[in-house]
């Protein structure tokens, strides 16, 4: 879209989508898994509704993976400051209903920020949607396999794989998440090795595509509403 198209769109609708992800280790998968997934699920959810989707903010909070080359992390205050500025820009443009689609668990502080920003701008509604953790998608994933975590099969889609790095066979035992939470980056790498937190490395594509459609539909439902504070 160009600016004139945005101006025309805002005559009849005030919704937009702002995806956010992370650039961090995902075992044999792309470093950009979280950014790829949050932007793609946003686009597929919003396109039938004609709602614009901003480019994904690719960087998030992942200090615990800093011992893995290629991983990136912002400071908490930096991420919050960036999103304050982005929402301010969105508001100035005329958008009043904003769906933040998050693809990375470490970005959870944005949920609290959304509430704070609505306090400052009560005419706005800002939803925070961690798309991978929606109740319908969570139930569907558990129906496939109750064991799955970071960098395992649950993030292994055709569009997050690297042709040069095929998935290992089999399944990895679950890592102790409590130990990860209390460990420094070097100890995290020593604990989890390749980066998979536990579970099978890959599931059949037909299974993953069915799950993907659940995630898209659940994200679209968030965009459709209801939207408190707005019609």
Confidence category of residue 177, pLDDT binned at 50, 70, 90: confident
CB 68 within 8 A of CB 25: yes
Provide the whole-model pTM.
0.95
The answer to whether domain 3-222 has CATH 3.40.50.150 is: no
Structure tokens at 77: 């205050």
Q: Which helix (H) or strand (E) holds 97?
A: strand 97-102
Q: What are the start-end ranges of the E strands in 160-230?
A: 171-172, 199-200
| Model pLDDT for residues 90-122, shown as the tens digit of each residue | 999 999 999 999 999 999 999 999 999 999 999
Given a cut of 60, whether residue 124 has pLDDT beyond it is yes
49-61 per-residue burial string, b: 16 or more CB within 10 A, e: under 16: eebbbbebbbbbb
> CA–CA separation, 107 vs 123, rounded Å?
25
Residue 230 confidence (pLDDT) above 70: no
Domain boundaries, the chain: 3-222
Kindly state the helix (H) or strand (E) to which residue 111 belongs, with its residue range. Answer: helix 109-120
Rg (CA), the chain: 18
């Amino acid at each position: 879209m160009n600016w004139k198209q945005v101006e025309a769109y805002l005559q009849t609708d005030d919704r937009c989508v702002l995806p956010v992800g992370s650039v961090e280790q995902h075992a044999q998968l792309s470093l950009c898994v979280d950014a790829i997934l949050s932007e793609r699920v946003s686009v597929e959810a919003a396109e039938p509704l004609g709602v614009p989707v901003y480019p994904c903010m690719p960087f998030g909070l992942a200090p615990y993976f800093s011992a893995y080359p290629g991983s990136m992390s912002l400071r908490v205050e930096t991420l919050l400051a960036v999103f304050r500025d982005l929402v301010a820009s969105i508001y100035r443009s005329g958008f009043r209903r904003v769906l933040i689609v998050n693809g990375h668990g470490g970005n959870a502080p944005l949920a609290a920020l959304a509430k704070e920003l609505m306090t400052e701008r009560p005419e706005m509604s800002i939803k925070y949607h961690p798309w991978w953790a929606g109740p319908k998608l969570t139930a569907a994933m558990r129906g496939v396999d109750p064991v799955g975590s970071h960098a395992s099969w649950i993030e292994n889609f055709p569009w997050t794989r690297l042709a040069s790095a095929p998935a290992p066979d089999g399944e990895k035992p679950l890592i102790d998440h409590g130990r990860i939470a209390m460990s420094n980056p070097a100890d995290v790498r020593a604990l989890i090795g390749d980066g998979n937190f536990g579970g099978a490395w890959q599931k059949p594509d037909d299974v993953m595509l069915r799950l993907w459609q659940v995630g898209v539909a659940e994200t679209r439902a968030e965009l459709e509403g209801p939207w408190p504070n707005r019609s």
